[in-house]
Amino acid sequence: MKNKINKTMFNRLSITIISLLILYVCCSAQSEIKTGLPSNDYLNNIKDEMDKKWPENRTINLVFHGHSVPAGYYETPIVNTLESYPFLVLKKLKNIYPNAVINVITTAIGGENSVQGAKRFTEEVLTHNPDLIFIDYALNDIFIGMDKSYTA
C-alpha cells in the first residue's frame, strides 16, 4: 500500500512539475532583463501558430518520447492515457489556445532508456515533423549512468 501511495504521489508531482514547466514556456512574457541565459524565443513561432484561427492556423505536433511515464504506465498493466502528462499538457494548452489544432504524439516505450530511445528517434519521432519534442528518460537512465545518457 505504501509503495502505491509513493507511486501516486510521485506521478502527481511529476505531472505538476511538467505542467508548470509547459505553462511557463508557453505563457510567460519575455523578460526585459538580459541575463546571458538562452532565451525561449524559439517557442514564439509555436505560440504564434497556436494563436491563429482557422483558416490561417495549422496543426502543431508535440511529440513525447521516452519511457513508461509519458506512455501512461503508473502501475502495470493498466495504461492511464487520460492521466498521462502528455494528455494533461494537451488539455492545458487547449484551455489557453482554444483555436489551436494540436496533435500529441507519444512514442514512449515502458522500460526503455535513452540509449535505446536514441536508436529509434529518427524513424519514430522525426517522421512526425514535430514542432516541439519532449524527451523523458529520467527514471530509467538512473540505471545506465550519466555518461551513456548524455551521449544518447
The amino acid at 42: Y
C-alpha cell at 61: 505536433
Of 97, 99, 102, 104, give the one whose Cα is nearest residue 54: 99
- Tell me the per-residue pLDDT of 19-61, one tens digit each, with 9 for 90 and over: 555 555 555 444 444 555 556 677 888 999 999 998 999 999 9
Query: How far apart are alpha carbons 67 and 52 in whole angstroms?
Result: 33
In whole angstroms, give the CA distance from residue 83 to residue 101.
20
pTM of the complete model beyond 0.75: no
Which stretches of the chain drop beneath a pLDDT of 50?
28-33
For the chain, the structural domain boundaries read 2-29+41-151
Please report the pLDDT score of residue 32 as a whole number.
40
Cell of 91: 488539455
Give the length of the chain.
152
CATH of region 2-29+41-151, choose from 1.10.10, 3.40.50, 2.60.40, 3.30.1380: 3.40.50
Kindly state the cell numbers that stand for 101. Answer: 489544432
And the C-alpha cell for 46? 509555436
pLDDT at 100: 95
H or E, element range at 10: helix 2-27
* Beta bridge mates, 79: 73
